[in-house]
Every structure is written in structure tokens, then in C-alpha cells.
Structure 1
């Protein structure tokens, strides 16, 4: 009988946690996801302006999600092999370009072009910023990813609120305000660029010791098996969240006859709860293990998701807040778990998992838009309510805690 192999991965040793850099990366994530969610939250306004169907909205969401996903693993590999300090600046320029086009778009083709640029900006930001977060963590990967993800979740929460306050009452052309915010945010990248420039110089001069060995006591087949389970969990989470992030406002408008602005405030409440819940998962995962956080976060959502399609307006809001809070820590725990399986390929893993998350969400958005056109908006919530039940597969994940061993 074969004994378990010890899979060893050498990785650079960065014992210090660079809190200032982590906060700057979190702010970068906040800005990126705020601008992305402004676009999603503005779909009702765009639909009214251009007289679009739900299917066309689904197509727009699909193009955005594909551009924000397909290139992420490619960029992740590039960033691992050829690190540069200007990648995050390039990302924000792409996003700002898309927002300018969207402000003046008068056809679905212009909207699709605009969201493609916005999606590419996100496709660069996520793998690069997540990769730098890993290196700035000082080994406290769960805490670092939680700080990073909190920024993104707060940005996603603020976006619909700003859309309700600016885009809904004043019009699509006010996307120019957010393009200006994107350009201004380049200034917030300075602490990251300064630290990253020093890190790259140290790596090239080999002044950073590569003496830390991450030991994962699993066979290679078990590592690939574990990655497969993580992909199932990503699928369940992002099919369900696609229904909320893209169609929650439409659901509230159609079922409860609320205004567009009120529906965006409900979406803000859900996303704000997600931001609050994000920070819990990282430190808990560092202390007790990622597996338990993943299991509780996804499967624990199921009772509330199953009740929500049959609730009144008040309880729909309450249940969505609980769902956002419970489900929010899943992705950072999944990402860190995967990074610990393959610690020398952080950019690839970050790009792959962010890319899959966006890609699954994009495909789900298109399919759900088609379902909404033919069976009604409520049908997608009755169907998607069962997605969190797939969280039970987390029980098959091995319990791992990579050992960090100094040699020499």
C-alpha cells in the first residue's frame, strides 16, 4: 500500500505582515468592486433607457462576467512570471475607459463594449491584488485575505447605494462621475507600488531567503481531488449570488412593487451584510481551519435561501441580510485553502478562482435572464434557493494545515 507523499513547495519568506500595504490593497479592491457594482446596479436604468429585455440584460451581464473571468488565469500566470508595479494602474485605466463609454452609450453594442472594458479592469485587478495580498500577509493568509475581501465587499455594497443616489435620479450620463473617481484612485496605489518595487528588487537580487517549506501531507491526486471539490463549491456559491447581484432589484420591483431607488437600497443592505461577514472567516480559518468555515458558510445559507422565495418584503430583506452575512466568508476561505495547496502558484490560483467565480456568475446571469423572460423573475429564486445545499461536499475536503519549516 502506498504511503502518503509529502508535497513540498518552496516559497519566499516574508515574516512581516505589511498592514499598510494590506489596507491599500483592500482600498484598491473597494474601488474596483464599487465601480463594477455601480454598473450592475444601473442595469434597470440602462434597460429603461434602451428598452432592453431581461435576456439582453443577461447578455450584457454575460459579456461583462466573461471579460472579467476568462483572462484572469492568464494574467495570474503572467504576474507570477513577470511581476511589474504598474499592473494595477493599467487595470483602473481600463475600468475608467469603460465607464466613459457607458456614460454616452445609446445602443446595446456600445453598452457591451463598455462593460467589456470594465470587466478587463477587474480581470487584471483581482489576480494581481490577491497575489500581492498573499505576499504581504506575513503568513497570516486568512487574515490578509479577509482584509482584502472586506474592501471588495464594502465596495460592492456602496456601488448600488451610489447608483441609487446618482445614476437613478440623474441618468446614465453621470457614469462620468465614477470614471473621474477611477482616475483619482490611481493615487491610492502609491504605497502598493513602493512596497512592490522593493519586493521585486529584493527577489531579483536574491536578498529574500527562500527557506520556507510549505508541507501539505497529501498525494498529488488528493490535491487535484480537493481542487475539484472547491470548484463545486465555487459553482454553488456563484450561481446563487448571481441571482442576487444581477436580479434582486428586479425581483423586488416586480414582486413587491417597490421603486428602483428602494430596490437598490435593499441591495445595499444585502451587500453591506456581506461585507460585515467577510472579516470573520479569515481569522477563524487561521485558527480552526478553512474547511469548517467553507462548510458552514455555504451549507449554512441553505435554510434561509429556501425560505426567501416565500417571504414578504420585510422578511425578504431580513433573510437576504442573513444570507449575505453567512455566505460572505466562503470565497476567501476557498481561495486561501487553494493557495495553501499550491503555494508557489499564487497568481495562477488567484486568477483561476476569481476567473471561475466571475465566469460562473456570467453564465448564470445569462441563463437566469432567459428563465426570467420565459418563466418570470420569481422562478429563478425558487430554483437558485437549492444551490447552497451543494455545500455538503465540503465534508470531503481533507483537513490541512501546511507546516512552515525553516531550513538552514
Structure 2
């Protein structure tokens, strides 16, 4: 029996202006989050922070987002709330002001909590808007949406080099203007979103547009759990590179923090490209195949990275970033296929809980760095993509279609 709800609506064709607008909102939202790791080198010196304390800042930011995203997603599945989008950006604005003026470590933690809360509010409804505006090209639409967020995250090293190194911690005040711009963009998206709900244009392009409550099979639950674990492992690797690799470059290759930002930026921008191309590739070659390629394909490169000369770091970082991120948007669409009709909740689970749980990696890796050394955590991170072999246990795209064919 098909269950159709107004919470899952979509036009028959892609609505590009809305996709680009929500992608721009995603970029601005995740730029707010990127400010936090960008200011790490400044806070390390000005507040004399340990690597463990840096890990705790990342932990609070991402855990707030990761734990609350599924909650907001579950709520939005029951009662769509278009104007949660600009509200989330407002919370990020408050966090930016607090971060810029924070006098000590605990105020920094409180400030990043607001930034994480803003992200938790934004992401489930942002994913829903991308779904609603996707038309028949689900992978491409999700890639357009996610590439905005990845671009925002990739700007962290640029912020460090161009804003925080010359201006210090108070440079965060510049981002209040971006937050205000984001609120305006998302207000425009919210008006369109509200109009779509009012029209009640149900998604009829697929028979499995929703799943009756309480009717999730054991195989689907296992697949979702495995998918969360795979994204969790990928997120730990990303946490190691984005939070600590700049310090490893300074220590191991004797380069400045400012110079190190170039290497982190290349890794992040390669991830943006991988995110964009991953969706169309999944539309053509299958979602599980792209997820498998993303993890297993990067293994030889991640294992090499801690042991190569400085000249080899940039090409390896680029390839790793591209390959690993090629499944970023694909995992979201794959999860939506597993649980159609629960778009907000599954988006919160994958983008929020699984990806955000990489924050736990920041804490663990920070403590390991203090206990052992940075080289140890880089080698530890290098083996994490090996866990991608478990992708073989996920149901194929065809099997998922057969689950809801009747």
C-alpha cells in the first residue's frame, strides 16, 4: 500500500533555482562551521590549548549537530516546518558573535554549541528541499545541494590564512554578515517550500514514496546501521586531516601553519569535486558501486600518505579527497531509498549522526596525539578506509527496488 504525505513532495522536473539557492544556503551554513577549525591555530596559541582541548571543541560542535539532526529530521517528517531554515542560520549568527568575543575555553565551547545547533536545524530540512526540487535526477540534485556544504567546509584553511592569522579571534565577527545573508537566501527558499506544501503535489514518480510507520524490515535496519558505520569511519579520517594534519605538516615537514593551509584546502576542494561528480556517477553506475569505490579505491593512497615526501603530499591529498567524497551525497540518497518517506530522519542520521560522530574522532585523535604523537594518529587514520570492504554487505540498488515493488 502506498502512503503519500505532504512532507514528501516534489515537482516532476528539477527546480534549478531552488537547488542552487539551497546549495548556497548550505555553503553559508557550513562556512559557519568551518570557522571553528579555522580558528584552531589562533586559539591554540592565545588560550594555550592542548590537542585534547582542540578535539573537545570539535566534539561539541559536531556532536550538537549530529545528535540533534535526526531529532529535528523526525519532527520535520511529521510536521514540515519551512522556516526552520532561516532560524537555524540565526543560531549560527549568535554562535559567531560568541566565538569572536570568547575570553576563555568554556565560552568557546558554548559558542560552538550554538553553531552546531544551527546546523542541526538546517540540514534535515535542507535535504528535504533538495529532494523536493530534484525531479527525476535524485543523485544530481543531492550533489548540487551537498557540494554547497562541502565548499563551505573546504574554506576553513582559507579563513585561517586570510582572516584569522592577520585579524585573530575577532575575525569571526566578519561572518555575522554571511549569516545575515544566509537568512535572506533561506527565507526565499522557505517561501517556495511553503508553497509546495500548500499545493500538496505528492511524489508519484516512484511507488515506494513512503513506508508505513513501524513497518521497517530487519534487513533495512541492518543496512542503515552498516551505512552509518561506514560514514562514521570516513568521518574519522576526515577529522584527522581537517583538525590535525596541519599540525603534522608543521611538525614533520617543518612548514608554517599558514603554508599548511594550502594542503588542507586542496584536500577539501578535491572533496567538493568528488561530491559533485559522485551523484551523477551513482545515477549511472549505481549507488552501492560508488560507495564501494569511494572507500576501497582510496585505501592504497591513504596508507601511503604518512610516509611520502612533501612533494607527493598534494597529489595524494587531492586524490584521497576526491575519491572519499565521491560517496558523500550518494550515501544520503542510498539511505533515502532504504527508508523512503522518512527523508528528514534518514538525512539527519547520515549527514548528521554518522558524519557528525566523526567529532568523537576529533576527541580520540586529540588525546592520542597528546599521549603518543601526531605521526601515530596519521598512521591510525590511514587504515580506516579499509573498513569500506563492508560495503559488500549492503543490498544492491536492484534489491532495494524489489523491497518496495509490491
TM-score normalised by the shorter chain: which range applies?
over 0.9
Residue of structure 2 in register with 1:394 after alignment: 391
Query: What is the CA distance between 1:394 and its match in structure 2?
Result: 1.0
Select which of 13, 29, 42 maps to 2:26.
29
Matched, 1:278 2:261: no
| Counterpart position of 2:259 | 262
- Bigger drift between 264-273 and 218-227 goes to 218-227
Q: Aligned to 1:214, which of 208, 213, 231?
A: 208
Go from structure 1 to structure 2 and tell me whether the alpha carbon gap of 1:209 and 1:236 turns closer, same or farther (over 3 Å shift). Answer: closer
Worse-matched range after superposition: 128-137 or 354-363 = 354-363
* Aligned pair partner of 2:191 in 185, 191, 194: 194
1:224 to 218, 221, 224: 221
**1:106 corresponds to which residue?**
103
Superposed CA offset, 1:118-139 (max 9, x none): 1111111111101111111113
Could you tell me which residue of structure 2 aligns to residue 363 of structure 1? 360
Deviations 1:322-379 (A, max 9, x none): 1001111222111111101111000000111122234421111000000000101111
Distance in 2 of aligned mates of 1:93 and 1:116: 13
Partner of 1:159: 156
Equivalent-residue separation in structure 2 for 1:369 and 1:44 (angstroms): 14
Structure 1 match to 2:146: 149
Q: Which runs of 5+ in 2 are unaligned?
A: none
Mapped to 1, the partners of 2:168 and 2:394 lie a distance apart of 48
Residues 68 and 358, structure 1, Cα contact 8 Å, conserved in 2? no
Q: What displacement does 1:77 show?
A: 1.0
2:339 to 342, 345, 349: 342
Q: Which residue of 2 aligns with 1:52?
A: 49
Partner Cα distance (1:102, 1:303) in 2: 39
**How far off is 1:163 after superposition?**
2.4
Distance across 2 between alignment mates of 1:129 and 1:79:
11
The yes-or-no answer on 1:125 pairing with 2:127 is no
> d(CA) in 1 for partners of 2:62 and 2:202?
37
The 2-side partners of 1:8 and 1:199 are apart by: 20
Report the 3-state secondary structure (helix = DSSP H, G, I; strand = E; otherwise coil) of the residue aligned with 2:208.
strand
CA distance in 1, matches of 2:10, 2:182: 30
Give the unaligned 5+ runs of structure 1. 1-6
Alignment of 1:237 with 2:234, yes or no, is yes
- What is the Cα-based RMSD across aligned positions, in Å? 2.1
Q: CA deviation at 1:196?
A: 0.5
Task: Name the counterpart of 2:375.
Answer: 378
Question: Match for residue 175 of structure 1?
Answer: 172
Between the two proteins, the alignment pairs up a number of residues equal to 395
* 1:263 CA drift (Å): 1.3
Partner of 1:79: 76
Q: Distance in 2 between matches of 1:158 and 1:362?
A: 18
Label 1:24 to 1:215 Cα distance change in 2 as closer, same or farther (>3 A).
Answer: closer
User: Matched residues in 2 for 1:362 and 1:151: separation?
Assistant: 21
Give the 3-state SS of the residue equivalent to 1:69 in structure 2: helix
CA contact (8 A) 1:38 1:160 kept: no
Deviations 1:76-133 (A, max 9, x none): 0111222222111111111111111111111101100111011111111111101111
- Of the structure 1 ranges 302-311 and 185-194, higher mean CA displacement relative to structure 2 is found in 185-194
- Among 248, 251, 254, the residue aligned to 1:251: 248
Shift of 1:212: 4.3
Within 5 Å, give how 1:294-305 maps onto structure 2: 294-305=291-302
